[in-house]
Amino acid sequence: MTSAGARRTFILRALAVVLFAALVVFGPLAENTADEKVFAATAILLSLLFVLMASARIAFALIAVSLLFGAIEIAGRLKFLYLQTPLLAPDLEYFLNSGTLEVFSHYPLLLGVGIGALVLIPLLLVLSWRGERAALLPQRPRWVRFGVRLGGALVAAWGLTWILTANGPYGGVFNKPMWITINDKSFITDFLTSFNDTVITEPVIPADVDRSISWKLDRPMQAPAQRPDVVMVLEESTFDPRILKLCTIKQCRAAMFDADKQTRAHGLMTVHTFGGGTWTSEFSALTGLAHTLFGNAGLYAPYNLAPRVAYTLPRAFQHAGYRAIALYPMSGDFLNARNAYDFYGFDAFYDGTEHGLGWESHDADLLEVFKRIHADEKRDHPDQPLFVFMLTLHQHGPHMTPLDKLPPPFDKPLFPGKFKPKALDDWLNLNLGNYLQRLAESDAMMSQLQSYLFDGKAPAVLVHFGDHQPSFDGAINEIPKVVPKLAGPVAHWVTYYMIKSNFPVRAHYDYPLLDIAFLGSLALDVAGVPKDAFYQANTLLRERCNGRYLDCKNRKMVASYHDYIFSTLGDLHESQ
């Protein structure tokens, strides 16, 4: 090799080492836990070994691996910056399409990084390949070099396969609760492990399942003369605080939890998440299914399950002549919401950021946007009833605004001296004070929404429910709760539901404890909307199990139901 060639090789390898060092510092060393740091580092080193054995080029291997994992790290950081979620494996399906350029065009930094990556990555790979000769065991016979490279590549590939399985040596970094995954900023670990969570586990139907049970509803619906508008509101992090033993003061009472003359069904409800995971409650309310049916992949319902579910609540309303619209309180890019709502079957999706909503918006802000959209929809579609699904956001954690910043009477501890150990007093008073102050705002908004819908002559149904309890960083579990025995050991899964109408119905549908999977069929009952095959079966299971679902005492009934909806109706089809 000439001196010029040697100098070029030295510079190229020096650049490669710098890039790799930067990857290590900003990649593995920046991961959240020690296990994740070691996992990410191991994945990188094994990848380096594989590329080195395959190419026999030191600089090329260092640069290629640095670019690959650097791209994962940078994409994760940018996605978290703009969308509050890291890059996950399911994102590849939705970001590698023609819509990506349109999204990037709204964000100059993303557009610049994207164009730079498209130009620089291929250029660096070509230059590093052509700027260095194969230099692995150059003095050895060809067959020795081939054997060493093949053996090394196979060992590296086997090692990568081993560590990237949930049953491998790094099993502890897999199957994290999704709320932790999207917040812990372990961008390399979260991306690599999320491939494991794309595999949906379908419910197993026992061999002795009873197929003689009928799941067809043969009674007529009690429909009103005019089809009512139906508005369903998912109340973020909301539960009736009176289930807390200590919550007996007047600030714990809110009219939104109590029945009035227009109430048709109400009570406590169980969901399948706690402290976060709103999108799983959203999934259950809109599909009548529990995300826990499908293994850990169910945590990614907006990505993995939404494209595969055949029967949904919006489609049931559409079949009855309704127009289904969704009002999302933040960007539709968050957790794939825009795509998921399209798969759920909504006719229109209103992005909150395009209407002035965001993380700091209050429930009153959402109500004003809803009124404008509702008026526009009724003007543009005067002969079509509406099904509207919308979400509040203000009750989302953290609940840590200093008490002296809150309006009276929430500007001081409401529960002094109630907790043991003493160290929890200030923390729980802070969180509960924030929660109850925001609840007062939610209560006022719900009253105004009810008046807006019910005071006119047009028939309307209002449904609102809590998606999960707030965690208060786990401290809420220090407070004893009073819930029905039916809830079993999962008192932290209990929220509430309320269904009202401004027209009479012949039946009331209260249950001691209702599973969220039955909320949709209950809303259809009150609205008098004809049901498709799925919601007929959903109604019958609700009645036969008295509002319980996966914890129904009649396990054979649930097995028969699952056999019917999945095997006969084909409710879960292959992704398109």
Residue written as token pair 């969570």: 197
- Mean pLDDT throughout 43-63? 92
Buried b (16+ CB within 10 A) or exposed e, 193-227: bbebbbebeebeeeeebeeebebebeeeeeebeeb
Q: What is the pLDDT of residues 125-170, one digit of tens each?
A: 888 888 787 777 677 787 777 888 889 899 999 999 999 988 889 9
pLDDT for 480 equals 87
Decide if 551 contacts 292 (C-beta within 8 A).
Answer: no
Decide if 366 contacts 393 (C-beta within 8 A).
Answer: yes
Categorize the per-residue pLDDT at 197 as very low, low, confident or very high, splitting at 50, 70 and 90.
Answer: low
What is the residue type of 440?
Answer: A
Question: CA 445 from chain center: how many Å?
Answer: 25
Q: What is the pLDDT of residues 361-400, one digit of tens each?
A: 999 999 999 999 999 999 999 999 999 999 999 998 889 8
Decide if 60 contacts 51 (C-beta within 8 A).
Answer: yes
By the 10 Å C-beta count (0-12 exposed, 13-18 middle, 19+ buried), 92 is classed as: middle
Categorize the per-residue pLDDT at 475 as very low, low, confident or very high, splitting at 50, 70 and 90.
Answer: confident
Average pLDDT, the chain: 88
pLDDT for 487 equals 79
Residue written as token pair 């000769």: 133
| Distance in angstroms (rounded) separating the CA atoms of residues 165 and 171 | 7
User: For residue 259, what are the contacts with CB-CB under 8 A and spacing of at least 6?
Assistant: 266
pLDDT for 99 equals 44
Categorize the per-residue pLDDT at 303 as very low, low, confident or very high, splitting at 50, 70 and 90.
Answer: confident
- pLDDT above 50: residue 422: no
* Lowest-confidence region among 6-20, 103-117, 141-155: 103-117
Tell the CATH superfamily of the 242-530+542-547 domain: Alkaline Phosphatase, subunit A (3.40.720.10)
pTM: 0.76
Buried b (16+ CB within 10 A) or exposed e, 433-456: bbbbbbbebbbbbbeebbebbbee
Listed by start position, the domains of the chain span 3-198, 242-530+542-547
Q: Which of 105-114, 415-424, 490-499 has the highest mean pLDDT?
A: 490-499
| Distance in angstroms (rounded) separating the CA atoms of residues 175 and 155 | 26
Q: What is the pLDDT of residues 67-90, one digit of tens each?
A: 999 999 998 888 777 655 688 776
